[in-house]
Structure formats: structure tokens, C-alpha cells
Structure 1
Amino acid sequence: MPIELRRRRALRLAWGTALCLAASYGLGLPIPILAPIFALLLLALRSQPLPLRVAPALALMVLISAGSGLLLIPLLRHAPVSGVLLVGVGLFLCFRFSLSGGNGLLANFLVIGLTMVSAAGASDFTLALSVVEAMAKGMLLAALSVTLVHQLFPEPAHAPTLPAPPLADAQEVNWIALRATLIVLPAFLLALIAPDRFMPLVMKSASLGQQSCETSVRQAGQELIGSTLLAGVLAIIVWGGLSLFVHLWMFFLWTLLFALLHARRLYRVVTTQQSPGFWLNCLSTMLILLGQSVQDSAAGQDVYRAFAVRMALFILVSLYACAMLYWLDFRRRPRVEG
């Protein structure tokens, strides 16, 4: 891929994410960090522009996929064991669908709907509806931001599309989907206990589950734990810079700067040993941490204590994800060798 095209795509991803973040917080959307994360996924997974008419269709797709979690709320309330098992089966099927060549974006939304929405609704149905509303509005804004940024940094007419991720071997699909499901389920169980405290952990575990589908066991520690630690350090730096002058446009500029640093490495403008998935996970984790810290500050909570607790949980779930990859690989190795 020509270096000029990679630079243009890096600029597009950084500007699209930062503009969407500024618009989301400026408009006061519920769970405002969802919109820039959706924009990041749309720009990272797709190089072609989105027609303007697709934006409402994407919002509707999110509404339907996230709304699937609403159907599980009565079961989680009245038969929790069966409800959790059904969520586990749903997660397994979503990851298996993605690994078998299905739409990865749709699979991500289904995973979020099954976990975030159903966990929120298990304690408060109104909270679940607000999560679904936040996802639909966030996707609509993200799609509009992607359309706008493609006008600012248009894709050349004959530019090569992003290569499709290689499909896993048919014998490996079930194992990879199983380990991704086992990575997400503990965070989901915690969210059932206290959805307002552990919702960011569900978002992080869903990201780790998706990343584990693309990570080999040999690189698990570096990919899963390393990207989380780096995201925490970068979030501290951005928060420190933002605290010098608290303003929405400073938040936009800091996000633009660090999104560009990640995008240049994601698109190999700057050569690194880490995979694109490492940088995508790092940037999304940094956004989750920053978004929750902004919400804590607005609510008058102790930001630094909440950040320390959240970061510790993120590191623990990353260690668990890495251990799960090693354990499942160890469990199935004798069968493969036999």
C-alpha cells in the first residue's frame, strides 16, 4: 500500500474519532464515549465511504442488535442461571459467526447488546432502555462523522480496500469462539451485580474477547496485557494535559493527537513490532478510560481513585484473558498432537 494512502487513512481515522468525540460530548448524548468508539471501529474496519442514507440503517441495526438483550431480561430476573447460560450460548454464536466470515461489526454490536443491555436491565429496565438509546444515537452520530471525514480526506478512486482478516481453520473456530466467550462472561457476571460500576469493564472484556479471536497464544501477553497497560499510561498523560485547561476543544485536540499517534502505527506509517489489533485495542481502551473519568468528574466523584480501581480491573481482566488463552491451548494440545 502506498505510504501516501496510509497517511491519509491515518488522518481520516484520527480526525473522525476526535470530531465524533467532540460532537458527542457537545450534544450531551447518553454514554457519550460510545459514539467515538463506534466511529473508530467503522473507520478501522472499513476504508470505503459510507453513503449518507446508510447512517439511519446502521442506527436501526444497532437498535435491533442491542435490543436483543432486552429479551433476556425476564429470564435473568426470574431464572438467572438459565439466563446466564443463554447469554453464554449467544456470545459463542456471535464470535463463531464473526470467525466464520460474518460481519464483524454486527457481531460486535450483538455482543454488546447481549452483555451491556441485559446486565443493565437485570436491575433496572429503564437503564437498559437508556443503553439501547445511547447505542443507537451513538451509531447515528458515528456514521455521520465517518461520512463527513471521508469528504475531508477522500479515498482515491482506485485505492485498494482493506484486506479481509484471514478466516480461522474450521477445526479452530469453536475453540477460539469458546475462549472469547469465557473471557467476556466474568465481566458480564460482575455487571449483573452492579451495572453502573462495571459497565466499562464489560466494554473492555468485549474488546478483549474480539481481540483474542485474532491473537495467537504466543503473542497473548503482549497483545492483551501490553495494550491495556499502555492505554492506561496514555490516559493518565491525556488527563494530566486536559486538567491544565479544561475545555471541550482541548479534549478534542488531545484526542486528535493521540488518535493520530495510534493511527500512524495501525496503518504502518510508523513501523512497529506490534500488530494493528494492538494499537486499535490500545486506543479504544484509552477512550473508555478517559470517557469514564470525564463522567466521574461531572458526577463529583474522586476521579483518581475511580481511575485506579478501574485500571486495576482492566489489568485483572486482561490477565484473566491471557491465562484463558494459555489454559485452553494447553487443554487441547494433547488432542492436536494425538
Structure 2
Amino acid sequence: MQTSLSLPGQRALRVAAGTALTLAASFALDLPIPVVAPVFAVFLLATQNRPLSFKAALALALVVAATTGSGLLLVPLLRYYPLTGVLLVGLGLFLAFRFGLRGGNNLVATFLAAGLTMISAAGVADQQLAATVVGALIKGLLLAVLVSIVSHALFPEPARAPSQPAARGMPDHRAALVALQAALVVMPAWLLAMSDPASYMPIIMKSVSLGRQSCTTSARGAARELLGSTVVGGLLAIAFWFALRLFVNLWMFYLWMLLFGLVVGRKLHRISPTRYSPGFWLNSLVTMIILLGQSVQDSVAGKDVYRAFAVRMALFLAVTVYACLMLQIFDGTRRDEQTLERHTS
């Protein structure tokens, strides 16, 4: 395999095969929130060229413990001292995103943000639901890590492949400003989810993905990157859904995900170059998985799939427009600061 495929082709196949296997296994095992595992798998396989080391796996285990513990501890505060609880969640989001921007592991930052918001929102509504979300996050992360190890074993990096460059941290002032921006992108979706966590949990996952993407997107290209990737993800989910209806079984679910993963993976790894960034295609793939997974669950529950999809897509677009607005506001603030510095100097 190493000699017959180029390096980008190897990575695209690894992303597609690993994501498809995780998605199929997640639904086959009937995990509480089945889209969690494939979303984490996408982030793991698309951003890491090597399997997790023992040290990284231990760090992730500690993050799981810290996230679940802090999320559950915030529930009483949100119930009885809501303002204090909301401020603490905002602070936690800010610190999580700032950790990633200062050179920390972006996967850890994403898990912290997702876990903190999802667990706290579920706990306010029902303690049993919070326990379900905790179980979903832990099982989803374990499955994603396991499939990541298998995928790297099946499609290993060639020995001659260059090592992944270390993450470059932003200066303190810049990192703080961008982390605040990302936290504000996530907060409204989290506040909305507290009114009905079971229905709005996908909105939290989408907003965390947008918060992560907003850290590397300029205000000038925000509409194209954020809105464009959300629309493309929705269109891919629609195409996947109608393709899946031709043969409804788990094997076809896996095979269609493999095909769609390869199509996006080719663009993600520049085999089929486009004018859009890898982050655009990564966010499109994540959006497709969230929308598709929820539609499958709606179908199993006997809900009106098309109406639920339309409502969910409208909410995704609303959250994305809000993220674009935050980028424009913070970009204007940065320009004002730069103008003031030039005048004072």
C-alpha cells in the first residue's frame, strides 16, 4: 500500500476508511449519541499523521476526567446561581480555545469545549441525561482512538514522510482575543440547548466546530469558509441520505460513508485542489456527519425526517451567520487597535 499510493492518497484513504468504520461501528453498537465517535475520528485522522503515543493517550484520559468532572460540577451552579454558572462556562470555553491557540493540542481543546457545554446543558435538564452524555463522550472518544490506531496500522505513514510540524502558538494578546471570539461563537448555541438538550445537542457540536474553525478564518473570507462549508455539508448529507435509501443496511451505510469520505478526503489533502482551504472541507465533512446521523436517528424514532432536517439546517445556518458576525466585529476591533498603535507610535 505504501508503494502504490502517494502520501496524500494514503492520508485521504485513512480518513475515509477510519471515518466510515467509526460511523458504522457507532450505530452498530447503538451508542447513546452515535455521531460523537465519527466526529472525533475525523478530527483525529485529519489532523494527526501519526497514531497517538502513550503520553498523548494518557493526556486524553486526563482530559476526559477533567471535562466530565467540571461539567457535572457546574450543574448545581447553573441551576441555583445561573449567572455565575454561565460565566464559568464562558471562562472554561475561553481557556480551552486559548490552550489550543497557544500551541496546545487542538483535539484536546475541541474535546474540552464540546464536553463542557454538552454535559452542563444536559445536566441542567436531567441528571440521567447528563450521565448519558458523559457515557456518549467517553465511549465515542475510546472508539475514535481505537479506530484511529487500526487505520494507522492499515494505512501507515511511509518512513520517508516528513514529521508533522509542531503547532505554532499565537502571541498572548492575539490568542486571548481569538479565544474570546471562539467562546462567544459557542455560547448562544449552548444557551439555546439548555432549553431542550435532547433536541439541540447537534447544535452544540456544530457551534464547537465553528468556534474551532473561526480561530483560523479571516473575517474577509468568513462567509465563504463558514457559510459555504455549512451549505456544502448540508448538500452532502442530502445526497448521502437519498443514496442510502436505495439499500438500507449497515454495510451500505459503511460503503457510502467510505465513498463520500474519499470524495472529501481528496479535496482535504489537495489531491483534487480547490480554492477552498482544508478547514473548509473538514468542517463540511463534520457538518454532513452530524446532519446525517441525526436524520438516521429521527427515522428510527419515527419522526418526520425532512421537517426535522429543515429545522436543524436552518439552525445550523443561523449559528453560522452569528459566527460570521462575531468574526466581523472582532476584526473591526483588531483594525481599530492597529490604527491606534500606529498613531501613538
Aligned position for 1:50: 52
Aligned-partner residue type, residue 96 of structure 2? C
Q: 306, 319, 322: which one pairs with 2:321?
A: 319
1:231 aligns to 2:217 (yes or no): no
Q: 72, 75, 86: which one pairs with 2:74?
A: 72
Q: Distance in 1 between matches of 2:224 and 2:321?
A: 11
CA, structure 1 residues 55+24, in 2 after alignment: closer, same or farther (shift >3 Å)?
A: farther
Aligned position for 2:161: 159
Q: 69, 90, 99: which one pairs with 1:88?
A: 90
TM-fit CA distance, 1:332: 3.6
CA, structure 1 residues 51+89, in 2 after alignment: closer, same or farther (shift >3 Å)?
A: closer
TM-fit CA distance, 1:56: 7.8
Correspondence list, 1:124-139, <5 A: 124-139=126-141
TM-fit CA distance, 1:248: 1.0
Aligned position for 1:264: 266
TM-fit CA distance, 1:329: 1.5
Aligned-partner residue type, residue 196 of structure 2? A
Aligned-partner residue type, residue 273 of structure 2? T
Q: Distance in 1 between matches of 2:192 and 2:6?
A: 45
**1:2-33, CA deviations, whole angstroms, 9 ceiling, x for partnerless residues?**
98111101101110010111111111111111
106-115 or 313-322, which deviates more: 106-115
TM-fit CA distance, 1:299: 0.8
CA, structure 1 residues 41+61, in 2 after alignment: closer, same or farther (shift >3 Å)?
A: same
Aligned position for 2:308: 306
**Aligned-residue CA RMSD in angstroms?**
1.8
Q: Distance in 1 between matches of 2:23 and 2:167?
A: 27
Aligned position for 2:343: none
**Contact 2:104/2:167 (8 A) holds in 1:** no
3-state SS, counterpart of residue 273 of structure 2: coil
3-state SS, counterpart of residue 231 of structure 2: helix
3-state SS, counterpart of residue 279 of structure 2: helix
CA, structure 1 residues 55+169, in 2 after alignment: closer, same or farther (shift >3 Å)?
A: closer
Aligned-partner residue type, residue 68 of structure 1? S
TM-fit CA distance, 1:60: 5.7
TM-fit CA distance, 1:195: 0.6
TM-fit CA distance, 1:109: 1.1
Aligned position for 2:211: 209
Aligned position for 2:116: 114
List gaps (5 residues or longer) in structure 2. 341-345
Aligned position for 2:297: 295
26-35 or 156-165, which deviates more: 156-165
Aligned position for 2:198: 196
1:13 aligns to 2:11 (yes or no): no
Q: Distance in 2 between matches of 1:66 and 1:102?
A: 20
Q: 166, 170, 175: which one pairs with 2:172?
A: 170
**Contact 1:63/1:136 (8 A) holds in 2:** no
**1:92-136, CA deviations, whole angstroms, 9 ceiling, x for partnerless residues?**
111111111112111111101210000000010111111111111
Aligned-partner residue type, residue 286 of structure 1? M
Q: Distance in 2 between matches of 1:259 and 1:84?
A: 37
**Contact 1:264/1:270 (8 A) holds in 2:** yes
Q: Distance in 2 between matches of 1:289 and 1:48?
A: 29
Aligned-partner residue type, residue 8 of structure 1? Q
TM-fit CA distance, 1:333: 2.0
Aligned-partner residue type, residue 220 of structure 2? R
Q: Distance in 1 between matches of 2:97 and 2:110?
A: 8
Aligned-partner residue type, residue 74 of structure 2? L
**1:172-211, CA deviations, whole angstroms, 9 ceiling, x for partnerless residues?**
1121111111100000100111111111000000000010
1:274 aligns to 2:276 (yes or no): yes
Give aligned pairs, total. 337
TM-fit CA distance, 1:328: 1.9
Aligned-partner residue type, residue 198 of structure 2? D
TM-fit CA distance, 1:164: 3.9
Q: Distance in 1 between matches of 2:25 and 2:56?
A: 19
180-189 or 257-266, which deviates more: 257-266
3-state SS, counterpart of residue 217 of structure 1: coil
Q: Distance in 2 between matches of 1:62 and 1:248?
A: 30
1:100 aligns to 2:102 (yes or no): yes
**1:226-278, CA deviations, whole angstroms, 9 ceiling, x for partnerless residues?**
00000001100000111121111111111111111111111111111111111
138-147 or 309-318, which deviates more: 138-147
3-state SS, counterpart of residue 193 of structure 1: coil
CA, structure 1 residues 89+223, in 2 after alignment: closer, same or farther (shift >3 Å)?
A: same
TM-fit CA distance, 1:37: 1.1
